[in-house]
Amino acid sequence: MDLFSPEFWTALLSIVIIDLVLAGDNAIVIGLAARNLPKHQQKKAVIWGTVGAVVIRAMATIFVVWLLKIPGLLLVGGLLLVWIAYKLLVEEKGHDDIEAGGSLWEAVRTIIIADALMGLDNVLAVAGAAHGHFLLVILGLLISVPIMVWGSTLILKWIERFPIIITIGAGILAWTASKMIVDEPFLKGYFANPVIKYGFELLLVAAVIAIGTQKKRKAAKKPHLKVANE
């Protein structure tokens, strides 16, 4: 992938949006883990926790990029990413189980562990969108650092004000998943025809958004139905 090619910049834009949608939620964890510390220690906990989280995420992402070269794993990764895109649309994420650290290093440890557990979707999505290009992985991580440290409040306000951001993010995840599936070496013969290839990609994105949106609407109506029955 050439540095100045449209494919490179499209992939980078996909990674930026993936980071905005997925890493913003992780930023809340950072704030919650450091909330009980004195003000002068909160900044240190955020910085060191983020550094630790990013180092682990960098290693995990590069490992996944390498892993996706193994035959069959692009298909598995693509299917997992379809599920992540669907869950992004239908699930409300809670953070009630995030414990606040009592000391600086407890808070740092909590941030690193919580980010590692919550960041699996981000790692897979960025690795898939990077198409094996390590520069894109590094750029994606550099973009996610300020998002995790400073962007949480802003991102939450954007998402609350413009819920379409979640739908766009889910669509990009589904599109990334479709690209991974059609790039799977043993499936390439089935997608040799451009009409079938791009048709499949569009169909998968449309299906994820349609099914996820419908599921969310049904879930939103349930509390009203319960109240009416009572």
> Does 63 map to a domain?
yes
- Say what the pLDDT of residue 29 is: 64
Per-position b or e across 36-47, b if 16+ CB within 10 A of its CB: bbeeeebeebbe
- Say what the pLDDT of residue 36 is: 67
Dihedral class, residue 132 (left if φ above 0, else alpha if ψ from -120 to 50, else beta): left
- Say what the pLDDT of residue 204 is: 94
**Rg, the chain, Cα only:** 19
Per-position b or e across 94-133, b if 16+ CB within 10 A of its CB: eeeebeebeebebbbbbbbbbbbebbbbbbbbbbbbbbeb
* Residue 228: both structure tokens together: 């009416």
- Say what the pLDDT of residue 99 is: 54
Closest CA relative to residue 171, chosen from 195, 207, 131: 207
Whole-model pTM over 0.75: no
Q: How far apart (Å, rounded) are the C-alpha atoms in residues 179 and 177?
A: 5
> Does 1 map to a domain?
no
Domains in the chain: how many in total? Answer: 1
Q: How many CA atoms lie within 13 A of 13 on its CB side?
A: 9
> Does 179 map to a domain?
yes
- E strand or H helix at 113: helix 104-118
> Does 57 map to a domain?
yes
> Does 42 map to a domain?
yes
> Does 115 map to a domain?
yes
- 46-85 tens-digit pLDDT: 777 777 877 887 788 888 888 888 888 888 888 988 888 8
> Does 140 map to a domain?
yes
The residue behind tokens 């562990």 is 113
230 residues of the chain, pLDDT tens digit each = 566 678 888 888 888 777 777 765 566 666 666 666 777 777 777 777 777 877 887 788 888 888 888 888 888 888 988 888 888 788 655 544 445 556 777 777 777 776 666 667 778 888 888 877 778 877 877 776 666 666 655 665 676 788 787 888 888 888 888 988 998 888 888 898 999 999 999 999 999 999 998 988 887 776 555 545 55
> Does 146 map to a domain?
yes
- Say what the pLDDT of residue 26 is: 63
The domain in which residue 211 lies consists of 6-229
